[in-house]
């Protein structure tokens, strides 16, 4: 892969994908529909910097698809080489952003051989709101799921990504997005994981996914929660854990004695367990 060292237009990115497609990954010369989709995504995607650099690259994506106006931005990290690599969608919590939480955790995930993509959600701080959604559409809202789902289409358009090996990971409200994403799109991901997440009882208003959404999850899912979390109660993940068991979905709940809400987000033991989980589910080889 040729490092992206300057701001690239969609057409330049398309040329880059075509030049590197022989190395594996998405095939822009495949069926007409797939090629058109790739060209459309790349024409509306602008990447600044080198995804292989220490801090990765930033990107913006602006387009209207099926009546939904997308104005989103985020970060992209990739391992050195042509790939194809597995990839993970990383989702930040309330007051975070793609540029802090997602990049920080994503650096570790990239060291495992994963391409990391993240965007800013409606609950981000220090970033433009973008669209779809408003500041009232927090956590597991339809707008945030749409943003996260669009990241998969961006990954599909990148020649160095193996979209048969996708994972999703998030913290707090980003955990809510992760759960709602895999519940809404059960066939896209091989594995999911989160810290400080869970579900709320149906009929109760909140930013967390509902129990009904939890029942819809079929993606193998690993949950991590601090025992002393006073922001998102451990009971929310215990409720989700029980639902996964009822549905027969492969899952693990790991509880961390003495941990509150923030400590779990980048804990080394948690990350080691996520890496092992992704290996077991075929994301990592």
| CATH assignment of the domain containing 241 | 3.40.50.1820
Beta strands across the sheet bearing 251-256: 45-48, 57-65, 68-77, 115-119, 85-91, 161-171, 191-195, 221-226, 251-256
Residue 285 belongs to some domain of the structure: no
* pLDDT number for residue 205: 87
Instruction: Give the pLDDT mean for 47-72.
Output: 97
Residue 171 belongs to some domain of the structure: yes
Contact 186, 213 (CB under 8 A): no
Domain extent, residue 262, equals 10-280
Confidence of residue 179 (pLDDT cuts 50, 70, 90): very high
Least confident of 22-31, 96-105, 204-213: 22-31
Residue 38 belongs to some domain of the structure: yes
Euclidean distance between the first and the last CA atom of the chain, given in angstroms as a whole number: 21
* pLDDT number for residue 30: 52
Residue 4 belongs to some domain of the structure: no
Residue 3 belongs to some domain of the structure: no
d(CA 58, CA 114): 17
Instruction: Give the pLDDT mean for 207-236.
Output: 97
Instruction: Report pLDDT digits (tens) over 109-133.
Output: 999 999 999 999 999 999 999 999 9
Residue 30 belongs to some domain of the structure: yes
Confidence of residue 31 (pLDDT cuts 50, 70, 90): low
Residue 228 belongs to some domain of the structure: yes
If one counts the domains in the chain, the total is 1
Least confident of 13-22, 35-44, 135-144: 13-22
């Amino acid at each position: 892969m040729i490092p992206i060292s300057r701001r690239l237009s969609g057409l330049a990115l398309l040329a880059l994908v075509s030049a590197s497609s022989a190395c594996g990954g998405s095939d822009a010369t495949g069926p007409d529909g797939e090629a058109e989709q790739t060209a459309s995504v790349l024409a509306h995607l602008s990447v600044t910097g080198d995804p292989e650099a220490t801090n990765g690259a930033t990107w913006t994506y602006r387009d209207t698809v099926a009546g939904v106006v997308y104005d989103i931005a985020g970060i992209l990290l990739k391992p050195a080489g042509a790939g194809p690599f597995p990839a993970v969608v990383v989702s930040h919590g309330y007051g975070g952003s793609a540029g802090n939480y997602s990049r920080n955790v994503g650096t570790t995930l990239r060291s495992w051989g994963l391409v990391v993509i993240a965007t800013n959600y409606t609950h981000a701080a220090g970033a433009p709101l973008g669209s779809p959604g408003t500041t009232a559409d927090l956590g597991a809202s339809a707008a945030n799921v749409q943003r996260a789902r669009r990241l998969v289409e961006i990954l599909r358009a990148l020649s160095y990504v193996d979209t048969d090996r996708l994972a999703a990971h998030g913290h707090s409200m980003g955990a809510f997005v992760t759960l709602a994403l895999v519940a809404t799109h059960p066939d896209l991901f091989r594995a999911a994981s989160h810290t400080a997440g869970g579900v709320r009882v149906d009929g109760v208003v909140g930013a967390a996914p509902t129990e009904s959404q939890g029942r819809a999850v079929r993606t193998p899912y690993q949950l991590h929660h601090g025992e002393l979390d006073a922001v998102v109660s451990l009971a929310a993940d215990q409720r989700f854990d029980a639902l996964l068991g009822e549905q027969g979905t492969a899952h693990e709940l790991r509880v961390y004695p003495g941990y509150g809400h923030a400590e779990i987000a980048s804990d080394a033991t948690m990350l080691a367990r996520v890496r092992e989980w992704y290996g077991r589910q075929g994301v990592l080889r």
